[in-house]
Amino acid sequence: MCGIVGYLGHRRALPVLLNGLKRLEYRGYDSAGIAVPTEDGLYIAKRAGTVAQLEALLAGVELPATSGIGHTRWATHGEPLDRNAHPHTDASGRIAIVHNGIIENYSTLKAKLREDGYTFRSDTDTEVLAVFIGALYEQYGDLELAVRTALSEVQGTFGIVILCADQPDTLIAARRGSPIVIGIGDGEYIVASDATAIVEYTRSVFYLTDDEMAIITREGCQTKTIDDIPTSVQLLELEFDLERIEKGGFPHFMLKEIYEQPQTFLDACRGRLLPHEGNVKLGGLRSVEPQLRRARRLILTGCGTSWHAALVGEYWIEELARLPVEVEYASEFRYRNPVLFPEDIVIAISQSGETADTLAAVREAKLRGATVLGIVNVVGSSIARETHAGVYIHAGPEIGVASTKAFTSQLAVLMLLALYLGRMRHLSAAQAQDIAAEIRRLPEKIQYILDHAEHIRQIARQYAQARNFLYLGRGVNFPIALEGALKLKEIAYIHAEGYPAAEMKHGPIALIDENMPVVVIAPRDELYEKVLSNIEEIRARHGQIIAIANEGDTELPHVANHIITIPHTLPLLTPVLTVIPLQLLAYFIAVERGLNVDMPRNLAKSVTVE
């Protein structure tokens, strides 16, 4: 993986391909390349490094072709070297392929192809697929048949686009487990792994489903299964425009997205929260309302930041709906033979809706007869299509690799879900009205924290060179400690651990000395006095204490080295506010360290391989 773009239309392909690759840079990558047809065959340029370096390599090259493919690669098989960059070609050099995913049986295929006399120039699984398709094309003389035959024998995941010098006015795209979206413009088609590469040219798109392929020519686009059964597509209108994927005057996408959170949180609640009625309207769950009413247990599953959101959701749903909740790592869910009952509801949480591990958990839960719901950001994504029902978070495109606004939008939807389930069960209208009224006030309270970000920047400067951080929280803010530590690891490359504050004395306390910054989330709630005791333990060992506290707190300033204040809210809702300073702290520390905040090393925005 990581980014795919293909073009067939009336424009010169090269500028479209390079522009699309730039739009996909945010997903994380280590090499880039393009292939376009010429009179003499395929012109291929690729190299390890950035799209800008690829562009420099192409400076002065005149390529009039109006079709082509491009790719940004995040290494899976083989180091980030020029020879491992995409596109890869078959033995003849007439067929080029770009590929996201992993071909699991590539070594078996490679051994067989070597027996037949084929050689390989790269360390990748993708080249094996290219050579395999080429061998079948040589045998059949039919490119589409060769692709279908090869893909029927492939094990693993793929999102691919294929270009052949013999048919320069044709692109073939296919997917299994790795997203492919096709934009339909005025006499042109743009194929990509992400709609951000398309929206500049058209907002009319459709997504391929698993084991579906598209044959795109100048006469039109035909879709069918890999087994040659014609399919129909559902055209969608992209919900965002070009402005939403520009920086808008901010130095980084991540900072822009942090500052968008008052609006995105509001958008997640808009039309759903009915504060005067003390109720919630979730139209996407209407079809499964009977199952939700008789549910005996909820299982929330996700990866990374989405898993942290699920942990917060566990506290909320159990408190308001009195319904047992379990939270599972999606990456472990299907491998541990989970026990599921017909009354269970599994809820998959994913920003992209394409996270491979989470999608696998969805399929396993459906196979075992559970009702499966999705909480995702991307309309038309795989999880949105494959779950029985769900709720979109409406955060808009999130370009920064480290998730910020998607996390708080996930929290918004999980709180709405908790209220929705609570009103079905034990929560009174008066209690729900109080909570709903406070949810409505959260965007302005997020804005207050953002308006005082300079203080957090000053703290970040003091600790930018620290080698380790400890994050502590209790109750509903324990998952926020995990999320704060993750943000610091992701973008500042500092080792950080999140812990329940009471667990500190069961091991991590051995690490605390005058060089250890400890971030303590300490809002004024029912556990406040307990957290104060934990802070005293840190102070006795000379740890550097950065406390997240409510405005007007008169005790913490006497025991903490630094105070970052947040407005008062209901204790249950504090995670929506306490996470904002931790996002800013990680961001400012990364900037102080001179790091590329939007594209942290080794990370991809959407992890579409296991």
CATH class, 2-238 region: alpha beta
* Predicted confidence (pLDDT) per residue in 190-200, tens digit: 999 988 899 88
> For residue 172, what is the DSSP state?
E
Residue 603 CA to chain centroid, in angstroms? 11
Mean pLDDT of 442-462: 96
Task: Please list the residues that pair with 5 across neighbouring strands.
Answer: 70, 192
Phi, psi of 536 (to 5 degrees): -60, -35
Mean pLDDT of 104-126: 93
601 pLDDT above the threshold of 60: yes
Residue with tokens 């009195």: 322
pLDDT score at 480: 98
Give the confidence band of 607 by pLDDT, cuts at 50, 70, 90: low
| Residues 132, 458: Cα–Cα separation, whole Å | 57
> For residue 118, what is the DSSP state?
-
606 pLDDT above the threshold of 60: no
Burial class of residue 90 in the structure, from the number of CB atoms within 10 Å of its CB (0-12 exposed, 13-18 middle, 19+ buried): buried
Structure tokens at 527: 């556990």
602 pLDDT above the threshold of 90: no
Mean pLDDT of 166-172: 97
Query: Which part of the chain has CATH 3.60.20.10?
Result: 2-238
* Predicted confidence (pLDDT) per residue in 55-72, tens digit: 999 998 889 999 999 999
Query: Which part of the chain has CATH 3.40.50.10490?
Result: 248-450, 452-610
Counting other chains too, the contacts that 9-12 makes at CB distance below 8 Å and 24 or more residues apart are: 9/66, 9/67, 9/185, 9/187, 9/188, 9/189, 9/190, 10/66, 10/187, 10/188, 11/66, 11/188, 12/63, 12/64, 12/65, 12/66
Angstrom CA distances, 333 to 329, 363, 366, 424, 605, stand at 6, 11, 13, 28, 21
Amino acid (1-letter code) at residue 7:
Y
> What three-state secondary structure class fits 190?
strand
38 pLDDT above the threshold of 80: yes
**Average pLDDT across the chain, whole number:** 92
What's the half-sphere exposure (Cβ side, CA atoms, 13 Å) at 370? 26
Angstrom CA distances, 211 to 61, 129, 155, 175, 191, stand at 37, 16, 12, 6, 16
| Residues 393, 269: Cα–Cα separation, whole Å | 9
Q: Which is catalytic among the residues 256, 487, 489, 605?
A: 605
pLDDT > 70 fraction of the chain, expressed in percent and rounded: 97
Q: Lowest mean pLDDT: which of 8-17, 372-381, 534-543, 599-608? A: 599-608
pLDDT score at 96: 97
What's the half-sphere exposure (Cβ side, CA atoms, 13 Å) at 361? 33
pLDDT score at 313: 98
Bridge-based pairing state of the strands 297-302 and 344-350: parallel
Mean pLDDT of 78-106: 91
Helices (H), 336-477: 356-367, 382-386, 405-424, 429-451, 453-463
Structure tokens at 324: 């047992």
126 pLDDT above the threshold of 60: yes
Please name which of 527, 496, 540, 519 lies closest in space to residue 582, comparing C-alpha atoms: 519
185 pLDDT above the threshold of 70: yes
pLDDT score at 244: 65
Residue with tokens 């459709």: 206
82 pLDDT above the threshold of 70: yes
610 pLDDT above the threshold of 70: no
436 pLDDT above the threshold of 60: yes
Q: Which fold has domain 248-450?
A: Rossmann fold (3.40.50)
Q: Lowest mean pLDDT: which of 107-121, 144-158, 244-258, 407-421? A: 244-258
Angstrom CA distances, 369 to 132, 289, 310, 359, 366, stand at 38, 17, 22, 16, 5
Counting other chains too, the contacts that 567-571 makes at CB distance below 8 Å and 24 or more residues apart are: 567/445, 567/448, 567/449, 568/524, 569/438, 569/441, 569/442, 569/445, 570/434, 570/435, 570/438, 571/476, 571/523, 571/524, 571/525, 571/526
Residue with tokens 């296991």: 610
pLDDT score at 242: 62
577 pLDDT above the threshold of 60: yes
Mean pLDDT of 406-428: 96
pTM: 0.79
CATH number assigned to the domain with residue range 452-610, chosen from the 4 options 3.65.10.10, 3.40.190.10, 3.30.360.10, 3.40.50.10490: 3.40.50.10490
Q: Which is catalytic among the residues 2, 164, 269, 303?
A: 2
Give the confidence band of 514 by pLDDT, cuts at 50, 70, 90: confident
Report the Cα–Cα distance between both ends of the chain, in Å, rounded: 11
pLDDT score at 243: 62
Residue 127 CA to chain centroid, in angstroms? 27
Please name which of 411, 566, 545 lies closest in space to residue 476, comparing C-alpha atoms: 411
Amino acid (1-letter code) at residue 116:
D
* Predicted confidence (pLDDT) per residue in 518-538, tens digit: 999 999 999 889 888 888 888
Instruction: State yes or no: is 605 an active-site residue.
Output: yes
What's the half-sphere exposure (Cβ side, CA atoms, 13 Å) at 118? 26
* Predicted confidence (pLDDT) per residue in 151-166, tens digit: 999 998 899 999 999 9
Instruction: State yes or no: is 366 an active-site residue.
Output: no
| Residues 575, 315: Cα–Cα separation, whole Å | 11
Give the confidence band of 258 by pLDDT, cuts at 50, 70, 90: very high
Structure tokens at 148: 């279908």
